[in-house]
């Protein structure tokens, strides 16, 4: 408190009111920081239940609640639609709020590139990148195709229908780049939820789908689905003896960002709180298990570093989509 005594001594000595005002301002600022969190948290999940975005969000919420890291109630809401446009549009409308948070995916970057959204990824406050996710091309367990070579040979004769979550996003970019390099075409079918997409594949409504390993590993282990190829550097053993796109000479170099954002212009006390909270989350055994179980690559970047990651990804995605004619 040396600053206050010196300030009082330069003309305010003996004026208790003025000194009290200075003390009050400092105490008030401290109280604001200490007051967060003082309200329930609204956690937006921009896709339907069962997908990678939903799984990550609910895992984080479970960890936060188990270790009492928030102190107030957390309301998780699936606000699906428009490849994330509905959910992230809702968070965008809460500008200035420290109580509106969301998990990210590739659609946070790609949806504004191809849709008339009032927001883009850089409008939100980047809290942390936590992991990146890769994709496998899947077919049903009773499919005639057992290898990616058989799939490609058939696709060159009759383009298959291939399902993904969202329209112009990572689920679209990865198979599009792969198909271009492997020399075949396909018809892309967009879904808003992983559950609906899985049902479509298992019922024969589509020929194939792309999925994150954590979303489909159980169906692979049960024999209901088969993985034909994987976009990451190393295929998770749980998917079976499946080649990577790199191994076949058809690598695409695209991964999905799994991270956290706050509403635009969120107050600094909320940003500071969540930075400290995420640092605790990623040290828990539950988080380690989540990474292992969902076959993710842990990749932690905070604040501006995450913002730079999103900007670089946006530039790369835009270049790819323009080259493919998916956006103008």
pLDDT tens track, the chain, 328 positions: 333 333 333 333 344 444 444 444 444 434 445 689 999 999 999 999 988 899 999 999 999 999 999 999 999 999 999 989 999 999 999 999 999 999 999 889 989 988 889 999 999 999 999 998 889 999 999 999 999 999 999 999 999 999 998 777 788 889 998 999 999 999 999 998 888 999 999 999 999 999 988 888 899 999 999 999 999 888 988 898 999 999 999 998 788 889 999 999 999 999 999 999 999 999 999 999 999 888 888 889 999 999 999 998 888 888 878 887 778 7
**Model pTM?**
0.71
Nearest residue to 215 via CA among 83, 113, 82, 105 = 105
Start-to-end Cα distance in the chain: 59
Whether 250 maps to a domain, the answer reads no
Pair (143, 105) in one structural domain: no
At residue 17, the pLDDT reads 42
Q: How many CB atoms lie within 10 A of CB 6?
A: 9
Pair (235, 286) in one structural domain: no
Pair (226, 90) in one structural domain: no
Under DSSP, the state recorded for 39 is S
Whether 249 maps to a domain, the answer reads no
At residue 278, the pLDDT reads 98
Expressed as residue numbers, the domain containing 81 is 41-132+257-324
Whether 318 maps to a domain, the answer reads yes
Pair (14, 59) in one structural domain: no
The CATH code of the domain that includes 295 is 3.40.190.150
Pair (211, 281) in one structural domain: no
Pair (278, 292) in one structural domain: yes
Domain end call among 186, 204, 239: 239
Whether 198 maps to a domain, the answer reads yes
Structure tokens at 209: 């789908």
CA dist., res. 42 & res. 49, Å (int): 17
For 166-224, strand residue ranges (E) read: 187-191, 208-211
Whether 189 maps to a domain, the answer reads yes
Query: Which run of H or of E encompasses 311?
Result: helix 303-324
Domain end call among 209, 239, 269: 239
Whether 244 maps to a domain, the answer reads no
Pair (75, 99) in one structural domain: yes
Pair (127, 185) in one structural domain: no
Pair (126, 264) in one structural domain: yes
Pair (221, 285) in one structural domain: no
The CATH code of the domain that includes 233 is 3.40.190.10
Distance set, CA 117 to CA 90, 93, 97, 121, 234 (Å): 11, 12, 20, 11, 36
Nearest residue to 110 via CA among 77, 151, 82 = 82
Pair (232, 143) in one structural domain: yes
CA dist., res. 58 & res. 76, Å (int): 8
Place of tokens 């390099």: 181
The full DSSP string for 109-133 is HHHHHHS--S--GGGSEEEEEEEEE
Pair (140, 122) in one structural domain: no
Domain total for the chain?
A: 3
Q: How many CB atoms lie within 10 A of CB 224?
A: 16
Whether 124 maps to a domain, the answer reads yes
Whether 144 maps to a domain, the answer reads yes
């Amino acid at each position: 408190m040396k600053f206050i005594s010196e300030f009082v001594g330069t003309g305010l000595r003996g004026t208790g009111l003025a000194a009290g005002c200075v003390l009050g301002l400092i105490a008030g600022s401290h109280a604001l920081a200490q007051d967060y969190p003082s309200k329930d948290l609204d956690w937006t999940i921009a896709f339907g239940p069962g997908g990678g975005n939903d799984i990550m969000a609910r895992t984080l919420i479970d960890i936060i609640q188990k270790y009492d890291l928030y102190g107030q109630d957390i309301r998780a809401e699936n606000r699906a639609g428009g490849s994330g446009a509905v959910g992230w549009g809702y968070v965008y409308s809460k500008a200035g709020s420290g109580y509106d948070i969301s998990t990210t995916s590739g659609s946070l970057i790609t949806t504004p590139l191809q849709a008339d959204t009032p927001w883009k990824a850089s409008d939100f406050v980047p809290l942390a990148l936590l992991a990146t996710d890769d994709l496998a091309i899947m077919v049903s367990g009773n499919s005639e195709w057992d290898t990616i070579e058989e799939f490609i040979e058939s696709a060159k004769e009759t383009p298959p229908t291939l399902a993904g979550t969202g329209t112009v996003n990572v689920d679209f970019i990865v198979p599009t780049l792969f198909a271009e390099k492997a020399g075949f075409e396909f018809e892309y079918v967009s879904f808003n939820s992983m559950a609906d997409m899985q049902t479509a594949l298992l019922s024969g409504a589509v020929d194939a789908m792309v999925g994150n390993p954590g979303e489909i590993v159980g169906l692979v282990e049960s024999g209901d689905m088969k993985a034909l190829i994987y976009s990451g550097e190393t295929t998770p053993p749980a998917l079976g003896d499946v080649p990577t796109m790199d191994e076949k000479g058809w690598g695409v170099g695209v991964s999905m960002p799994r991270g956290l954002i706050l509403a635009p212009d969120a107050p600094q006390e909320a940003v500071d709180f969540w930075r400290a909270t995420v640092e605790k989350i990623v040290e828990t055994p539950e988080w380690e298990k989540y990474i292992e179980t969902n076959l993710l690559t842990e990749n932690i970047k905070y604040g501006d570093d995450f913002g730079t990651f999103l900007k670089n990804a946006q530039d790369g995605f835009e270049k790819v989509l323009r080259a493919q004619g998916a956006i103008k």
